[in-house]
Amino acid sequence: MEKVLAVSEITLKRVKEPAFNVLFIIAAVFGYCVSEMEALSIHGEDATIGVILASDSGTPLLTGFVMIILMTMLIAVFSGATDIPRDVESRMVMFILSKPISRGEYVLGKYIGVVSTCLLFFILACISTVLAHLIKAGELYSLTVLVRQSYLLIAILPFVAMTMMISTFLSDISAMIVAAVYIMFALSMSAMSIFVDMLPKSLGVASYVHVIAYFFPNYFYFFNSFKIFGVVVLSLLVYALSLTVIFLAIGTLKFNRRDLIE
C-alpha cells in the first residue's frame, strides 16, 4: 500500500502547479455563484426523468451542488484521461516502474491521486457554496441536506476509474474525447431504459434496450432523492465500488500488456 500511496503522492504534487491554483480559485468562485440555486425540481407534467430524480420522498439534491459535481466530473475527464498517457509520453512512467512498483500499483496510485484532486475541487466549491449561503441567506444548510449533497462524491469513484481505463488504451486527447462520448451514451441509454419501461410490453424492445444499457453505468442512480441513511446508500456504494473495480481491472490488464516504449 505504501507504493500505491507514493505514486498517488506524485500525482498530487501537481496540485501545487499554477494551473491547479487557478482551478481551485475557479472552484471557489463557481461555488459562490451557484449557492442560491434551489432544490433539483421539475417543470411540467411530462418531465419523466425529473419526476424520478426529484421524488417527494427522502432528501433532495440542491441544483447548485449538482452543478458542482458536474464541474468536478469535467475535471475528472481532463485529469483521469491525461495523467497516464502524459507519463508514458514523457517517459516518467519508466522512471516510476524502475522502482519496485508493479504496473497495477502504478494504476491504482494514479487513480487515488486523481480522485483526491477531484475531492479537493468538490470540497472547496462546496465550502464556498455553504459560506455564500450563510452570507446571502443568513443561515447554514442543515446537516441532513449537506450529508445528502456529499453522497454525490460516490459517483466520482467509478467515473474516474472509467476515464483512467480509457486512458490505458488511447492517447490523452483521444481518451478525453472517448470518455466524453462514453458518458453521453451512458446518460442516453439510462434515460432510454426509463422510457422503454413505459411502452407496451408487446413491442418487445425493453429487453434489448436493457441489455445494451447494462454496458453503461447508470449515473441517474446517484441523483435520486432518498433518505441519507438506509439501504439505498449502501446499494449505491456497492454499485459504485463494483464499477470501480471492473474499470480498474480492465485498465490494469490493458496497461500490463501495453508497450510503454512508444
The answer to whether residue 262 sits within a structural domain is: no
Please, what's the b/e burial string for 91-110 (b: 16 or more CB within 10 A of its CB; e: otherwise)?
A: eebeebbeeeeebbbbbbbb
Residue ranges of the alpha helices (H) in the chain?
Answer: 2-12, 18-33, 48-53, 63-90, 92-97, 103-137, 143-150, 156-167, 172-196, 206-213, 231-257
CA–CA dist 48, 52 (Å, integer): 7
pLDDT for the residue numbered 111: 92
Partners of residue 59 on adjacent β-strands: 226
Residue type for position 87: D
pLDDT for the residue numbered 44: 43
The model's confidence at residue 43, banded by pLDDT at 50, 70 and 90, is: very low
Q: How many domains in the chain? A: 1
Model pLDDT for residues 192-214, shown as the tens digit of each residue: 666 665 555 555 555 666 566 66
The answer to whether residue 123 sits within a structural domain is: yes
Max avg pLDDT among 27-31, 128-132, 136-140 = 128-132
pLDDT for the residue numbered 212: 65
3-class SS of residue 59: strand
The model's confidence at residue 161, banded by pLDDT at 50, 70 and 90, is: very high
The answer to whether residue 234 sits within a structural domain is: yes
169: exposed, middle or buried (C-beta count within 10 Å: 0-12, 13-18, 19+)?
A: middle
Write out the residue range of the structural domain in which residue 131 sits: 2-257
The answer to whether residue 104 sits within a structural domain is: yes
The answer to whether residue 143 sits within a structural domain is: yes
For the chain, the distance separating the N- and C-terminal CA atoms, rounded to the nearest angstrom, is 29
Q: What angle do CA 156, 162, 167 make, to 5 degrees?
A: 125
The most distant pair of C-alpha atoms in the chain lies apart, rounded to whole Å, by: 61
Model pLDDT for residues 229-246, shown as the tens digit of each residue: 778 788 888 989 998 999
**Torsion sign (Cα): 17, 20, 26, 27:** negative
Q: Virtual CA dihedral for 95, 107, 14, 113, nearest 10 degrees?
A: -140
The answer to whether residue 23 sits within a structural domain is: yes
| 261: alpha, beta or left? (left if phi > 0; alpha if psi -120 to 50) | beta
The answer to whether residue 7 sits within a structural domain is: yes
The answer to whether residue 224 sits within a structural domain is: yes
